[in-house]
Amino acid sequence: MDLCRLVGYIGDSRQDLEKLAEGLKKSAENDTIGNVVHGDGWGYAIHSELGISFYKTKEPIFKDSKPLPPTSGRIHAIIHARRASPDMAVKERFSHPFLAETQDSYVFLAHNGALNEKELRGVLNFEGEACDSELGLRYLVRNGFTTAVAELEKYVKENSALNLLVLQIGKDGGTEVFVNHYYRKAEKGRDKTDYYRLLRQTMSGGTAVFSSTFNKYSFSGEDLDREGLTALSSF
């Protein structure tokens, strides 16, 4: 289980991308909704005409000096800042996004929420080192991620979410960012609806989806008007 802040973008503006990365940095350092710091690593998967850039580290996004990679033309990007659960280690391999390769594409996944790791390990017959988010990606790739997301929702823990950003890069062409928004509210316990909200904003050169904390830092996103897996380009 990780408590995270994340952002996805499709567009033609380098300025948009840098503004969003700065918004994630501020949201991670001072999450005024969750009242936590997301300082247990960060990473990105970014595709443009220059190719694929993939980076992840255990360093906090607000302390890491690594700049975003060069981009040109159309940009597809997902960026994630992590706050590890108490029982999970802070190290690079647990930072998001996670990568899987299929016959037709490369799939990068960033997740906010908590999945039942024990149940997923049983279903996947997997005993290796992995966190719940990586197991979720394994499940989606095995079962066809565009159709299996709804099935994965049954493994979401109460008062948690399956908020996903997926960058899919086709080996024969075609790139897309998908977003999935799902919150499982429990009958008891604190309502975390506000924390797990995903917001959408049309920017100067494209469309972005980001965590609710962004609106505390000069963004003006509106709530996603639908749950389930959706291509960001369709908004």
Q: What is the pLDDT of residue 2?
A: 57
Given a cut of 60, whether residue 234 has pLDDT beyond it is: yes
pLDDT higher than threshold 70 for residue 194: yes
- pLDDT tens digits, one per residue of 33-76: 988 999 999 999 999 999 999 999 999 999 999 999 999 999 99
Of 3.60.20.10, 3.40.50.980, 1.10.3720.10, 3.40.630.30, the CATH number of 2-234 is 3.60.20.10
Closest by Cα among 118, 124, 125 to 140: 124
Looking at residue 28, its pLDDT comes to 97
In this predicted structure, what is the pLDDT of residue 34? 86
Contact 8, 232 (CB under 8 A): yes
| pTM, entire model | 0.96
> What local confidence, expressed as pLDDT, does residue 188 receive?
77
What are the structural domain ranges in the chain? Answer: 2-234
Distances (CA, A) of 108 to 35, 51, 156: 28, 14, 20
